[in-house]
Structure 1
Amino acid sequence: MTDENQRAVQAAIDAELRLLDPGVRASPALVLELLDPEFTEVGASGRRWDATSILTVTGDGSVSPESPVEVTGMSGTVLAPGIVHLTYFTDHRGRRVWRSSLWRLTDTGWRMYFHQGTPAAVEGD
């Protein structure tokens, strides 16, 4: 991977981890800074979300310093200039989810364009 691609992947990883931070999730303004205006998500529940509707759950307190999201196996690849695909697992309150995100570089920085969560078996099951 080139240095430029490594920097792009790291920028997307840093932004993804910010979105999982309880302090960021509690602030609609901070969440919107990281979501593309055309953002869509297919959640682990099967529900479709957009940038406006996702704000109803990001600040609901389900992710807190007392109940953080554990992230494992995060990796990324550059699909095209300015487009990064990330995959990883989250574990939160006994629920394991395989996650996939597309990040794109905009005039205002890296923003999440698409996200999907798929329920996964807890390791050892």
Structure 2
Amino acid sequence: MDILVEQEVELHKYEIRQNKADRERLIHPHFSEVGKSGNSYDYSSIVEMMETEKPSSARVHSQNYECIQLEPSVQLLKYKSAIVDEAGEVSGYAKRCSIWVFTGTSWQLKYHQGTPCSPFKLEQV
């Protein structure tokens, strides 16, 4: 589970999202997502979105990771997230799930979903 959490957290970082090699390493070519907004994305639309992102002083906080093995090479990663701005204000609370698949050489994110949720207490890291 540790590698999946590490890779999920990597995808929260602007620098990783801007790097083509990192995106290709982490995101499966047949990726799909149902975003917190309810909008659907595929690999090309998520890459386009990442490429047009602007740097931000806000950060993604994530916690309560749980990993469920669906198959030996397929893992479901569940967690909670929130956005924390530079003043410490918290918003964008969501429950998230990601399906990671092992491609034979590495784990890649194949599916992701975010669902808005009620505010929760942030655990300190």
TM-score after normalising by structure 2:
0.82
Aligned counterparts of 2:50 and 2:22: Cα–Cα separation in 1: 11
> 1:73 aligns to what SS in structure 2?
strand
Aligned counterparts of 1:53 and 1:109: Cα–Cα separation in 2: 23
Q: Which stretches in structure 1 are left out of the alignment for 5+ residues? A: 1-8
Q: Which stretches in structure 2 are left out of the alignment for 5+ residues? A: 85-90
1:115 and 2:101 equivalent?
Answer: no
C-alpha displacement at 1:39, in angstroms? 0.6
Aligned counterparts of 1:108 and 1:67: Cα–Cα separation in 2: 33
Aligned counterparts of 1:75 and 1:61: Cα–Cα separation in 2: 30
C-alpha RMSD over aligned residues: 1.6
Aligned counterparts of 1:108 and 1:40: Cα–Cα separation in 2: 21
Aligned counterparts of 1:49 and 1:31: Cα–Cα separation in 2: 15
1:57 and 2:57 equivalent?
Answer: no
C-alpha displacement at 1:123, in angstroms? 2.4
State percent identity of aligned pairs. Answer: 28
One-letter amino acid of the structure 2 residue matched with residue 23 of structure 1: E
C-alpha displacement at 1:114, in angstroms? 0.5
CA contact (8 A) 1:22 1:68 kept: no
